[in-house]
Chains A and B, each alone.
Chain A
Amino acid sequence: MKIAIASGKGGTGKTTLSTNLAGYFAEKGEVILTDLDVEEPNSGLFIKGEFVHKEGKYNMIPEWEQEKCTLCGLCQEVCNFHAVIQLVDQIMIFPELCHGCYACSELCPVDALPMVPKKMGELNHFQKDKLTFVESRLDIGQEQAVPLISQTNEYIDKHFHKEALKLYDSPPGTSCPVIEAVKNADFVILVTEPTPFGLHDLKLAVDTLKELKKKFGVVVNRYGIGNDDVVNYCKKENIALIAKIPNSRRIAELYSRGELIYQKIPGVKHQFEEIEKYIFTNI
Chain B
Amino acid sequence: MKEIVVISGKGGTGKTSITASFAYLEGKDVVVADCDVDAADMHLLMQPDFAKSEDFFSGEIAVIDQEKCTKCGKCADVCRFDAIPVINDLYVVQPLDCEGCGYCARVCPEDAITNESQNVGKWYISTIKTGSTMVHARLGIGADNSGKLVAKVKNEAKQIAKENNKDYIIIDGSPGTGCPVVSSLSGANFVILVTEPTVAGLHDLKRVYELVKKFHIEAGCIINKSDLNLQVSGEIENFLKEEKIIHISSLPYDETFTTAMTYGKTIVEYDEGNLKEIIKESWEKVIGIVRGR
Contacts and interface: CB of A to CB of B under 8 A. Distances in A.
A258 interface: yes
B198 A256 contact: yes
Contact of B144 (A175, A225, A252): A175
B109 to A, nearest CB: 14
A106 interface: yes
A47 B207 CA distance: 19
B44 A200 contact: yes
Contacts of B208: 40
B3 interface: no
A267 B117 CA distance: 51
B87 to A, nearest CB: 15
B200 A195 contact: no
Contacts of B200: 15, 42, 45, 255, 258
A102 B78 contact: yes
A36 to B, nearest CB: 12
Contacts of B232: 256-257
B261 to A, nearest CB: 5
Interface string A197-227: 1001100100110011000000000000111
Contacts of A226: 258, 261-262
Interface stretch (A3-11, A21-29, A155-163, A272-280): A3-11
B139 A174 contact: yes
B270 interface: no
Contacts of B80: 100-102
A207 B99 contact: no
B178 A208 contact: no
Interface string A173-198: 11111110001000000000001110
A45 B210 contact: no
Given A8-B39, A40-B204, A175-B139, A256 B258 contact: no
A172 B175 contact: yes
Interface in B173-230: 174-182, 196-201, 203-204, 207-208, 210-211, 214, 225, 228-229
A196 B228 contact: no
B101 A42 contact: no
A40 B207 contact: yes
A260 interface: no
Contact of B141 (A106, A143, A207): A207
B39 A141 contact: no
B96 interface: yes
A10 B106 CA distance: 40
B136 interface: no
A253 interface: yes
Contacts of B181: 39
B229 A253 contact: yes
Contacts of A62: none
B11 interface: yes
A101 B81 CA distance: 8
Given A78-B102, A183-B96, A172 B11 contact: yes
B16 interface: yes
Contact of B228 (A45, A106, A174, A256): A256
Contacts of B271: none
B261 A174 contact: no
A176 B38 CA distance: 10
B102 A204 contact: no
Interface core residue of B177, B180, B253 (most chain A CB under 10 Å) = B177
Contact of B179 (A40, A143, A179, A195): A143
A106 B103 CA distance: 10
Nearest to B208: A40
B100 A80 contact: yes
Contacts of B21: none
A39 B13 contact: no
Nearest to B107: A107
A102 B255 CA distance: 51
B258 A143 contact: no
B131 interface: no
Contacts of A258: 198-200
A144 interface: yes
Interface string B63-82: 00000000000000010110
A140 B103 CA distance: 29
Closest 7 CB pairs of A and B: A11-B12, A10-B11, A101-B101, A173-B38, A39-B176, A11-B11, A256-B229
Given A10-B12, A39-B176, A173-B39, 13 more contacts: A9-B11, A78-B103, A80-B101, A103-B103, A140-B214, A141-B211, A144-B179, A175-B139, A176-B142, A196-B44, A196-B262, A200-B41, A255-B198
18 contacts: A10-B10, A12-B12, A39-B181, A99-B99, A102-B103, A140-B210, A140-B211, A144-B179, A172-B39, A173-B39, A174-B142, A175-B139, A175-B142, A208-B142, A212-B142, A255-B198, A256-B229, A258-B198
Interface of A: 8-12, 15, 37, 39-40, 42, 45, 78, 80-81, 99-103, 106-107, 138, 140-145, 171-179, 183, 195-197, 200-201, 204, 207-208, 211-212, 225-227, 249, 252-253, 255-258
